[in-house]
């Protein structure tokens, strides 16, 4: 038997003010866009804002539904919009932020499992890594060089061949 380990490095900033101008803009835009989320049940507004490799900006917010499985996360709303508006154009960087109306929003959050799978599929589809910037409305910011790092041992198209 062999044992293997999985680990990855990511950058940690104390606040968005420490980021370069472009990254800070994306984070602040994601924070602003949380106000467009439809989250009447959880009161947990999430937004994702991405810069595509062609320079275009696309945003998405979570969209809840009284029939809970029918809701959509901000990341998947963004991916769907980007794929429709700009077919085959890769995403360079995506900033994700949230506003918890029931509590604090002072630490980074990470995409859920189905969003991680969707992000990895988008990376595979466009053959380009998606750099993630994770934050709350304030506090620390994490930068992860590729979304695929969040889903080790992922399932992909190669598994279906």
Catalytic residues: 75
> Taking a C-beta distance cutoff of 8 angstroms, is the pair 131, 95 a contact?
no
C-alpha to C-alpha distance for 34 and 62, rounded to whole angstroms = 9
Residue 21 φ then ψ, to 5°:
-60, -45
């Amino acid at each position: 038997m062999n044992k293997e380990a999985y680990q990855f490095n990511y950058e940690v900033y104390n606040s968005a003010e420490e980021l370069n101008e472009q990254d800070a803009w994306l984070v602040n835009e994601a924070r602003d866009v949380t106000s467009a989320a439809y989250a009447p049940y959880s009161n947990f507004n999430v937004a994702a804002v991405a810069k595509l490799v062609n320079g275009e900006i696309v945003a998405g917010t979570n969209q809840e539904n009284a029939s809970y499985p029918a809701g959509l996360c901000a990341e998947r709303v963004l991916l769907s919009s980007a794929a429709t508006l700009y077919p085959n154009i890769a995403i360079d960087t995506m900033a994700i932020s949230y506003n918890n109306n029931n509590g604090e929003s002072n630490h980074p959050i990470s995409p859920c499992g189905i969003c991680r799978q969707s992000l990895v599929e988008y990376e595979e589809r466009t053959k380009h890594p998606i750099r993630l910037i994770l934050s709350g409305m304030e506090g620390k910011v994490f930068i992860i060089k590729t979304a695929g790092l969040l889903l080790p041992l992922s399932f992909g198209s190669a598994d279906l061949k």
